Homo-oligomer: A and B are copies of this chain.
Amino acid sequence: MPSARHFTLRFSCPDRVGIVARVATFLAEAGGSILRSSQHSDSATDRFYMRVEVDAASLGISLETLAARFTPIAEELEMDWRVADSAVKKRIVVLVSRQMHCLYDLLERWRSGELDVDIPCIISNHDDARGLVEWHGIEFHHVPVNKDNKAAAWRKIDRLFAAADADTMVLARYMQILPPWLCEAHAGQILNIHHSFLPSFVGASPYQQAWERGVKQVGATCHYVTPELDQGPIIEQDVTRVTHNDAVRDLVRYGKDIEKAVLARGLRYHLEDRVLISGRRTVVL
């Protein structure tokens, strides 16, 4: 049932005639059987985006050899590129606060194998999640954040992330605002789930804001974290219907289900190397 081991090549580059021909011919000459391929020409920026999964067994060469042979093409076409091996698990560090619905959801996906990653550690500004996390055999770090120790806390989180040798940091309802330097140091690597349908209801208490405005649907947004609060490129969004009958606590409750699903989808797209950033937008191939 699982998909075969594959190498994933993804890139973006200035658009021109013949890019697909070059890439596909390169792969065909290496014997590569294409499992899945998608591409996008963005006419607004005149840039081309592509992602292709190649059956590793069909190639008969290592990822390193493939990358070495592809480098001249990538340089000639001025690509921003990357290759990944599906047999090498990505590593994610999860940050949470007191609400645990996203954490439970991620842990179940991880334990069942749906989320096929390593989770070297989970960090929280509260100690509440320790028991659950450690029961799952995952290291837990309690890093309190208050107005006196913020700078030290962010440095500690950055060190833990580095020590974990992780690719991705997931803010799974982590209720602290990361400093600009941390966002910039890991641009394109930090995912957040915001509990509103952005750009509506930026900042604190979005469900309270939504109730006051009387909207008929509430939503959630998974986006990359950038130094500007809630302004990063959007990866995935969804909404659910509410009525005048629903109090703020009901909006919060409905919202939890959307947050879980949207974060899980956005994270999966990211981990499968399907998300390419294009300014304030994302291309999800």
Contacts and interface: CB of A to CB of B under 8 A. Distances in A.
A114 B100 CA distance: 12
A247 B41 CA distance: 11
A185 interface: no
A35 B41 contact: yes
A131 B41 CA distance: 41
A281 B246 CA distance: 12
A13 to B, nearest CB: 14
A155 interface: no
Copies assembled: 4
Interface of A: 1-3, 17-18, 20-22, 24-25, 27-29, 31-43, 58, 99-101, 104-105, 107-109, 111-112, 114, 131-132, 135, 197-201, 212-217, 219, 233-239, 241, 243-245, 247-249, 253, 256-257, 260-261, 264, 278, 280-284
* Interface of chain A: mostly helix, strand, loop or mixed: mixed
Nearest to A114: B253
Contact of A233 (B58, B107, B214): B214
A128 to B, nearest CB: 10
